[in-house]
Structure 1
Amino acid sequence: MLFGKKSSFDENDFGTVVSACVAGNNQAQRYLYKHFFSYSKSICLRYTSTPEEAEEVLNEGFLKVFNNMDKYDSVHPFKAWLRTIMVNTAISYYRKHKKHHEDMVSLEDAPYPRFDDDIVGQITADEILKLIHEIKPIYKNVFLLYVVEGYNHREIADLLQINEATVRSHYVRARARLQHLIKQYYPHLFPSDWGIKSFKSNEN
């Protein structure tokens, strides 16, 4: 607690919740944790392979949130600030536990390198996210950081500590693998001659 006092807060006034968290009010911290739990966990689940990993990232992420509440600028949306911390925590977790192993794994063959946005647009975002989890984690993370979070290739390279050319390659592989999975799970979306057209398109 700051100066030995327990700062009060009003759940209907988010500014007071933030101030109370900065002051070390455990009740305010619990409220913040519960209020943003589902949102934060959904982010962590995207970047991890198991619920257990997501839980680790979630807890570490909230620890960073509470340790840095005094750095939050109320001019910006809190959820955006929280999201950045959770994403960065998840990527740090990935680098620590997965990176070196996956860098040694050869690239997957992607049978359908052409990416048809019209076809992808026919399935929901939730369906796409489910398929994303079937992609190798390094490809998945690059895809999510670029498409969902809006990072550019240079920023992703810095986050993952790989070069920009590798990021671009991984992104192309991720798109190709996603296209293949969509064709596997949603074959009705593809015309019967799609594979032939795709092959010819890539020859040109």
Structure 2
Amino acid sequence: MTQKELIRKCKKGNRAAQEELYRTYSAVLFGICLKYSRNKTEAEDNLHDSFMTVYEKIHQFRDKGSFEGWLKRITVNTVLQKYRKKEPLSLVEETPDPDGDPEPGTGTGEELSLGTLLQFVQELPEKYRITFNLYVLDGYSHKEISESLGTSEGTSKSNLARARAILRDRIKNTKINIA
């Protein structure tokens, strides 16, 4: 089935087409959800919510631009909408380990695995994680981020700087695991 046929059938509410749409795009969209989520379970919930929104709004897709790009935008917006609905979070201060031991990792800062880096990003306080992902990984401007999150551009810049500082410290303090 072509992409146009798939979209047309999904617009008519065809369950088999919706299932095919999910199978085709769930891996890509799950990767996006993982970037913005604290853990795999939260990412799975965000993916589910994103597909529910896609099925509900697919009639709004007018065949202008990339369908996958439209799906990605829906996914990011769904995750951000959930974030905005949460109660405001207070600033989270990093507390050092009482034993002075850095977190164990998988290598030096230059040799960290992608999984470890993703874990570090996922462990950022929510405001910092979302701002970091939008700016660094998705290429949003501070103006776009502030509009999406309902904050000022200065807050966006501050959250990005704090996220980078936390990540820099985590990477710097990662122990080398020698097998």
Q: Which protein shows a greater Rg?
A: 1
Q: Which amino acid in the other structure matches residue 35 of structure 1?
A: T
Offset, 1:134: 2.1
Aligned in 2, Cα 1:50/1:122: closer, same or farther, shift over 3 Å? Answer: closer
Q: Which residue pairs with 1:173 in the alignment?
A: 162
- Equivalent residue pairs, number: 166
**Aligned partners of 1:106, 1:60: CA distance in 2, in Å?**
27
Query: Could you tell me whether the CA contact under 8 Å between 1:48 and 1:94 is conserved in 2?
Result: no
Aligned in 2, Cα 1:126/1:52: closer, same or farther, shift over 3 Å? Answer: closer
Higher relative helix content: 1
Provide structure 1 residue ranges, at least 5 long, that are not aligned to the other structure: 1-9, 110-118, 189-204
Question: Please, what TM-score do these two structures have when normalized by structure 1?
Answer: 0.72
Aligned in 2, Cα 1:21/1:126: closer, same or farther, shift over 3 Å? Answer: same
Query: Could you tell me whether the CA contact under 8 Å between 2:127 and 2:159 is conserved in 1?
Result: yes
RMSD: 2.4
SS at match of 2:173: helix
- From 104, 128, 143, the equivalent of 2:132 is 143
**Aligned partners of 2:4, 2:110: CA distance in 1, in Å?**
39
Offset, 1:167: 0.6
Q: Which structure is richer in relative contact order (CA contacts within 8 A, separation 6 or more)? A: 2
**Aligned partners of 1:64, 1:33: CA distance in 2, in Å?**
12
Provide structure 2 residue ranges, at least 5 long, that are not aligned to the other structure: 96-107
Q: Which residue pairs with 1:113 in the alignment?
A: none
Question: Please, what TM-score do these two structures have when normalized by structure 2?
Answer: 0.81
Aligned in 2, Cα 1:176/1:187: closer, same or farther, shift over 3 Å? Answer: farther
Aligned in 2, Cα 1:178/1:60: closer, same or farther, shift over 3 Å? Answer: same
**Aligned partners of 1:69, 1:44: CA distance in 2, in Å?**
19
Offset, 1:143: 0.4
